[in-house]
């Protein structure tokens, strides 16, 4: 029986190393994502389970690669609720006060959501 060196590069025709690299890329992308906490820990786990047969000559081996990423950070905003002619309307509260003129003489745009009217029963 010839001795063969087993490595991540050779296991499962390179599939184990490929999955490891994919998980590592996900972690690096998550670290560079400004929508995640910078100081959160990320984790990459390579689990290897060996299940030999009774003769101890054949080992069923399972490789599982998992990554734990930092979650996206929360985003807060304030929404104003009002009525316009009996209809409910909303607008996001922006840093500028609605209706206040800027130095350039323009007003900051606001997002308005109109709701469908409910039919009276």
Number of domains in the chain: 2
Range of the domain at 87: 79-114
Angle in degrees, CA 16, 13, 30, rounded to 5: 30
Residue 119 forms part of a structural domain = no
Q: What is the pTM of this model?
A: 0.64
Between the CA of residue 100 and those of 32, 66, 118, what are the distances in Å? 38, 52, 33
Whether 20 and 61 map to the same domain: the answer is yes
Paired tokens of 39: 């100081």
Whether 15 and 46 map to the same domain: the answer is yes
Whether 95 and 48 map to the same domain: the answer is no
Range 27-38 average pLDDT = 96
Whether 58 and 89 map to the same domain: the answer is no
Neighbours of 40 (CB within 10 A): 13
pLDDT band at 90 (very low <50, low <70, confident <90, very high): confident
pLDDT band at 93 (very low <50, low <70, confident <90, very high): confident
């Amino acid at each position: 029986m010839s001795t063969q060196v087993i490595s991540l590069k050779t296991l499962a025709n390179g599939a184990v190393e490929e999955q490891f690299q994919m998980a590592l890329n996900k972690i690096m992308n998550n670290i560079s994502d400004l929508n995640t906490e910078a100081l959160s820990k990320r984790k990459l786990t390579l689990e290897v389970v060996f299940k030999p047969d009774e003769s101890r000559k054949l080992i069923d081996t399972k490789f599982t690669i998992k990554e734990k990423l930092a979650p996206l950070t929360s985003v807060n905003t304030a929404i104003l609720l009002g009525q316009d002619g009996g209809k409910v309307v909303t607008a996001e509260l922006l840093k500028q006060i609605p209706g206040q003129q800027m130095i350039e003489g323009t007003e900051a745009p606001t997002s308005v959501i109109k709701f469908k009217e409910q039919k009276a029963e």
